[in-house]
Amino acid sequence: MKALLLCLLLTFPVLSLQAAYAQDKFQTEGLWEGYDAEWGHVSQQLVALAEAIPADKYSWRPAPGVRSVSEVIMHIALANYELLSFTGPKLPPDLKSNDLEKTVTKKADVIDWLKRSLTAVKTARAQLKPGDLERKVKIDGKTVTVDGMYLRIIIHDNEHMGQLVAYARMNGIVPPWSK
């Protein structure tokens, strides 16, 4: 019995450290390591948060006239595609309507759109050739670089992830990386 107790006492701290390391890795993986790693970080957090929010909360909104949970996630996904399209890649063929933000509301469908858009950005950036980031593109009457467009995409995703964190916490949901 003493041997079992001793074994448990010695094992518990190791398991606790492993759990803490895994949690810390989830919180910090990709940080400070450049755009691609940061993109992986925000992508991982967006998907984890979208999956953590229960389906019945996807229609929740903090006030009338403010985007619901599903609308915020769809806004992220659609903006990823739209902003990316200015750098060269075509919009996906199923992006046919301007009201998808309001009509795609089922959790599984919303998460699918989010994941596909995150992958589209990652894939397009991975296929860039030397010099492509300095290439000029036009948006809203401005001439900007492809690099500037990718920066806008990651900033936009982080901005709305913050909004989703607030939505989640207002509904008693703890973001997975904060547990």
Task: Give me the pLDDT at residue 96, please.
Answer: 87
Task: Give me the pLDDT at residue 9, please.
Answer: 46
- Compute the distance between CA of residue 67 and CA of residue 101 in angstroms, rounded to an integer: 9
Task: Give me the pLDDT at residue 20, please.
Answer: 46
Q: Where are the alpha helices (DSSP H) in the chain?
A: 2-28, 35-52, 69-85, 100-103, 107-126, 146-170
Tokens of 19: 């759990």
User: What letter represents residue 83's amino acid?
Assistant: L
pLDDT (tens, 9 = 90+) of the chain, 179 residues, equals 555 444 544 444 544 444 444 455 555 555 456 899 899 999 999 999 999 999 999 999 999 999 999 999 999 999 999 999 999 999 999 998 889 999 999 999 999 999 999 999 999 999 999 899 999 999 999 999 999 999 999 999 999 999 999 999 999 999 999 98
Task: Give me the pLDDT at residue 24, please.
Answer: 55
Distances in Å between the Cα of 143 and the Cα atoms of 20, 138, 146 are 46, 5, 10
Q: 163 burial class (0-12, 13-18, 19+ CB within 10 angstroms)?
A: middle
Could you tell me if 76 and 117 are in contact, meaning their C-beta atoms sit under 8 angstroms apart? yes
Tokens of 146: 């492809």
Side-chain-facing half-sphere of 28: CA atoms under 13 Å: 7
CATH number of 31-178: 1.20.120.450
Q: Which pairs count as long-range contacts for 66-71, CB under 8 Å and 24+ apart, including other chains?
A: 67/101, 68/105, 69/164, 69/167, 70/104, 70/105, 70/106, 70/107, 70/110, 71/101, 71/102
Task: Give me the pLDDT at residue 127, please.
Answer: 96
Could you tell me if 176 and 52 are in contact, meaning their C-beta atoms sit under 8 angstroms apart? yes
Domain boundaries, the chain: 31-178
Residues 6+ apart with CB under 8 A from 136: 143, 144, 145
Task: Give me the pLDDT at residue 32, please.
Answer: 57
The alpha carbon torsion through 36, 37, 40, 44 (nearest 10 deg) reads -160
Task: Give me the pLDDT at residue 156, please.
Answer: 98
Task: Give me the pLDDT at residue 27, please.
Answer: 54
Task: Give me the pLDDT at residue 25, please.
Answer: 54
